Structures are given as C-alpha cells and as structure tokens.
Amino acid sequence: MSIKPLVAPVALVVVAAFAVPASAGNKLVPAGQRIAVAKSAMTVQPGTEWNKLSERPGRKAETWTQDGDELNDLTFYGGIESGKPLFREVDRKNQPLPKVSATMLITDIPVLLENSYRIALGAASVRIDTIEPIPFAGAKGVHFTYTFSKQNETLQRRGDARGAIIGGKLYLVTYEAPSLYYYDRSAAAARVVADSVQF
Amino acid sequence: MGASDDIGGIMLKSCRALLAALSLSLAVAAPAYAQEKTGAKPGFSLMPGTARIVLMRPSIRVGAQSTGGMYEPNADWTDQARENIAAALAKAQTGLGNSVVAYAEPLGADGAKVAEYRELFGAVASSVIEYQFFKGNRLPTKKRKDQFEWGLGPDVRALPGLDTADYALFITTEDHFGSTGRKVLQVFAAMARIPVAAGVHKGFAGLVDLRTGDLVWLNADMQMGGDVRDAEGADKRVRQLLEGFPGKPVEASVVSAPAIAASPAIASAH
C-alpha cells in the first residue's frame, strides 16, 4: 500500500514521456487521390491538398486541416458503433457524452452533435441552423449547418455536416471554421471532399 | 517477508521505469526547446518612418491555474494588467520607428466585430505556434521553404478607422498563475525532467498588412516573462512582445532573446 504514492508519479512520468512523440507526425493528403478515412471503409477524394492531423478526436475519427484545427477542421467519423460517444469523453464520470444508437433517425444526428458539443465545449453556445435530407454515399442521409462558440470565447464558428446511419453505425463528415474569413476560405474544398464520400 | 520482497521488486521496477522515462523524456524534450518564436512573411520589411500603424486594443486575460491545470479568471488581476500594459505600450509605442496610434474603438455592432477579430488573431497566433513554430508538429503544407502564409483576411480593412492605416498591430496576453498545488506538481515532474508548466504566460504580438489582411510579422510565445500584474513586469512583457518589431531602431539592451524568454526569474531580477 505504501508503494502506491510512489508508483503513481512514475506512471504519470512514463505516460507523459510517451505522450509527447504521439502528437507529432501530421501527414500530407495529396489532391486527386481517393483514400480511406477514419480507419473505416469510407473513402473520399480531395480536390486540394489537406493535412491529416496525427491527433484523432476518437478511435474511429480523423481530422484534416489546411491551417490548423482552430481555423479549419474537416473531421470524419467512420462508423461510430451503438453505445459509443461521437468522440473521446471529456469527463465521463460527471458529464458523460450522449451515445450513438443503432435505432437513431437521421434527424437525431444533429441533436447528438449539438448535445456532445455542449458538454465538450463547456458553457459554449451551439445552435443548429438548417437541417435537410440528402443522399449520403447512396444511403438516406442528413445535411445540417450549425453555429457555435467555445467556452470563454466570442469568436463565432460555423459548421456544415453530412452523415447517415449505415448498418447501425454513424458515419459523419463535419467542416468547421471561424465565421470571419476562414469558413468561406476552405468551404468549397471541404464540400468537394464531403461530396466524394463512397464505401 | 514475501511482502517485503514484493515491495523491493516493485521499487526496483519503479526505479527502472523512472530511469527509462528520464532518458526518453531527455530524448524527446530537445525539439520542444528548439521551437521558434518569431516569424515574418518572406520579403516583408518595414523602413522606419514609412508606415502608419494602428495599435488595436490588446486582449488581456489574467487568472489562476488549479493543480489540474484549469483556468480560473481573476477580474482584479485582469484590470491591473490592462492598466499596466496600456501604460507600458504608451511608453513603448514612440520607439517603434513608425507612427503608432491607438485605435479608437467603435461602439455597438462594429465594436463586437473588432472583438471578434481580436479573438481571430489569437486563434491564428496559436495556430502559428502549434503548426509552424513547433517544427515537430508543422503541417506538411506549411513546410515548404520560407513559407509564412497566415492572415485575418482582407475584410479586416473594413473595420471603422482602419482604411487610412497601413498596418494593424494586434496584441494578446493570457496569464494563468500557477496555484501552490500546481507548483508542487511541477517540482515533482521536474525531477523526472518532464516539462509541466506551472502557469501559462501567453504573449502574441502580430502585425497585419491592412491592404491584404496578411499576417506579416508575429512574435508569439506560450511562456513569456514579466508579471503583468505589476508595472515593472508589464514593461518587461511589452518589451518582449515588441522585440524585433519591424522598422524598430536596434536596441543595445535586447541581445539574448531566447535566454530572456526561457528564464523570466533571472531577467526580472535585473
């Protein structure tokens, strides 16, 4: 028992030491090549160059950016299973994230994102602006837009998402950027990627 | 007896783990210190006496940092810092080589827009630190030779009063002073050479070309010196923020920039 206080800092040290190199190694996503994303069968074909960040929002998700994820963020969720949250829990014990359900309707997808963001971004405001049905890689999907700001910030961010429940799993592509300048700057490039989703 | 053997074994393992972690952290810590702190758009230069620069009202936040690293805002400290930094900037702005005038902040919707641009500047500067200055994490599309392509967009010029100026100078400071618990954690972590920061002392100063919206010069660091809660510290912070400012006459006192930035305690003693 008396060892425990000693072991804990050592464990912390080891974890910290390993955590540093894991954040390195962002990769170039070349234009014009079809590639699989988010460790899934989902593939996309970008029309311009992007950077794939080594840091993932969750096990079955990945983020692309052109100038950094605070300025433009294209995230793919590749088949989030029933019972799992959209992305990594921030405070599982006190504020668990809502979970994906295989029986979700497509109109539940914007609600899931809204409620997940409310928790993950603290007291931030999140508002769904538009929702419309669209075909998503041949399935019945949903396209929605939203506005939000992070905790302690007044910088408005806009989001555009397309997704569907396919085989009981959630597939979703989101594009987000500050409304000022950055959103419009990469919106067309992000749309090309989102429109190219195939399985 | 068996128990004491176990304890010995665990102790030995712990020591080994600690040693392994030590050597690992030494190996990985090096690139973090090689981080750049200043960047400029290739080809950008500013001659003294040629430009009209508008100094935007700085974004200043001061608070405490809990043991777990959470930020707790402190209104008194923030007010003190605002006063001190304003006074320090008033002293410094006459020595920048070009005409620097404080921005007359508009009210209402335009004022909100200005505040949003201030935050956008903060987000851009943070991105430059994370994805350009920190070489190990640089974005592949930002790795090309002599590249420094960042900005706030050309619409920044549409803010009231900026159409007659050449450049806008944005300044952001954010200080989270470490609590006692955080400092204790730092001491333990330092024994293992793990860089746990007690406190955050962000400082960004950036010059934006108002014709294009491009960020042409940025000085940004997550660990600046100078306690902004007192006048002397604010002077020091402002000196560091404006170090290497384009068009500024060379100062004899500012020589060893990285050493000052790395050891605020030593520098403030003088």
Cα Dmax for chain B: 83
Q: B146: Cβ–Cβ under 8 A, 6 or more apart, which residues? A: B42
Q: Beta strand pairing status for A157-166 and A169-178?
A: antiparallel
Name residues whose C-beta falls within 8 Å of residue B175's C-beta, 6 or more positions apart in sequence: B61, B62, B63, B77, B81, B199, B200, B201, B202, B228
Query: Within an 8 Å CB–CB cutoff, is residue B21 touching chain A?
Result: yes
**Which tokens go with B223?**
């660990």
Return the SS3 of A22.
helix
Whether B76 is covered by a domain: the verdict is yes
Is the pLDDT reported for residue A125 higher than 60?
yes
Taking an 8 Å cut-off on Cβ atoms, the answer to whether A10 and B140 are in contact is no
Q: How many domains does chain B have?
A: 1
- Distance of alpha carbon B196 from its chain centroid, rounded? 17
Nearest-by-Cβ selection for B137 from A14, A23, A153: A23
The set of residues, in sequence order, having a beta carbon less than 8 Å from that of B202 and lying 6+ positions away, is: B172, B173, B174, B175, B220, B221, B222, B224
Domain assignment present for B72: yes
- Which of B119, B188, B200, B204 to mutate to probe the A interface, most A CBs <10 Å? B119
Backbone angles phi, psi at B179, to 5 degrees: -75, 170
With an 8 Å Cβ cutoff, are B155 and A181 in contact?
Answer: yes
**pLDDT tens string A40-64:** 999 999 999 999 999 999 999 999 9
Block means of pLDDT (10 residues each) for chain B, 270 residues, are 43 46 42 72 90 96 85 93 95 91 92 95 96 90 85 96 95 89 79 76 96 96 92 96 88 42 36
* pLDDT at res. B197: 66
Quickly count: other Cβ atoms within 10 Å of residue A79's Cβ: 22
Select the residue of B28, B120, B213 nearest A20 (Cβ to Cβ).
B28
**CA-wise closest residue to A53 among A84, A32, A26:** A26
- What's the whole-model pTM score? 0.82
Question: What pLDDT is recorded for position B90?
Answer: 93
Q: What's the pLDDT band for A24 if we cut at 50, 70, 90? A: low
Residue B244, burial from CB neighbour count under 10 angstroms (0-12, 13-18, 19+): middle
Residue B231 lies in a domain: yes
Question: Is B233 a member of any domain?
Answer: yes
Q: What is the mean pLDDT of chain B?
A: 81
Whether pLDDT at A100 is above 50: yes
Give the per-residue pLDDT at A18: 41
Q: What is the pLDDT of residue B78?
A: 96
Question: Could you tell me the two tokens for B136?
Answer: 């190990």
Question: What would the DSSP string read from start to end of A141-168?
Answer: EEEEEEEE--TT----EEEEEEEEEETT
Distances (CA, A) of B97 to B50, B93, B245: 9, 9, 9
Q: Is residue B25 part of a domain?
A: no
Beta carbons of A175 and A168 less than 8 angstroms apart: no
Pair B53, B209: CB distance under 8 Å: no
pLDDT tier at A110, thresholds 50, 70, 90: very high
Give A5 or B149, the one with higher predicted confidence.
B149
Per residue in B156-209, pLDDT tens? 999 999 999 999 999 999 999 977 777 777 788 888 777 776 688 999 999 999
Which range marks the domain in which residue B224 is found? 37-42+50-241
Its ipTM equals 0.86
SS (H, E, C) B179-243: CHHHHHHHHHHHHCCCCCCCCEEEEEEEEEECCCCEEEEEEEECECCCCCCCHHHHHHHHHHHCC
Largest CA distance in chain A: 60
Q: Is A51 helix (H, G, I), strand (E, B) or coil?
A: strand
* Greatest mean pLDDT among A16-20, A28-32, B191-195: A28-32
Strand pairing class (A43-44; A50-52): unpaired
| B85 within some domain | yes
Contacts for B179 with CB less than 8 Å, ≥ 6 apart: B64, B65, B66, B67
Mark out the alpha helices in chain B (DSSP H runs): 2-33, 75-92, 108-128, 180-191, 231-241, 257-262, 264-269
Residue B189 to residue B195: CA distance in whole angstroms:
7
From the number of C-beta atoms within 10 Å of its C-beta (0-12, 13-18, 19+), residue B269 rates as exposed
Residues of A in contact with B210 (CB under 8 A): none
Radius of gyration of chain A (CA): 18
- Per-residue confidence (pLDDT) for residue B178, from 0 to 100: 79
Proportion of chain A above pLDDT 70, given as a percent: 87
Does A5 or A133 have the greater pLDDT score? A133
Q: Give the distance from residue B86's alpha carbon to the nearest chain A alpha carbon, in angstroms.
A: 22
Q: Which domains does chain A have, with CATH numbers?
A: 4-192 (3.40.1000.10)
Instruction: Name the residue among B159, B133, B150 with its Cα closest to residue B208.
Output: B150
Whether the CB of B212 is below 8 Å from some CB of chain A: the reply is: no
Q: How far is B19 from chain A (nearest CA, A)?
A: 10
Q: How many residues does chain B have?
A: 270
Query: Which positions 6-35 of A are in contact with B (Cβ < 8 Å)?
Result: 6-7, 9-14, 16-18, 20-21, 23-24, 26-28
The pLDDT of residue B119: 96
Q: What share of chain A is helix, strand, coil (3-state, %, to 5)?
A: 25, 35, 40
Residue B29 contacts residue B193 (beta carbons within 8 Å)? yes
Residue B194 lies in a domain: yes
Is residue A49 helix, strand or coil?
coil
* B20 interaction partners in chain A (CB closer than 8 Å): 14
Residue A191's contacts (CB-CB under 8 Å, 6 or more residues apart) are A160, A175
Test mutation, A26, A54, A69, A158, chain B, max B CBs within 10 A: A26
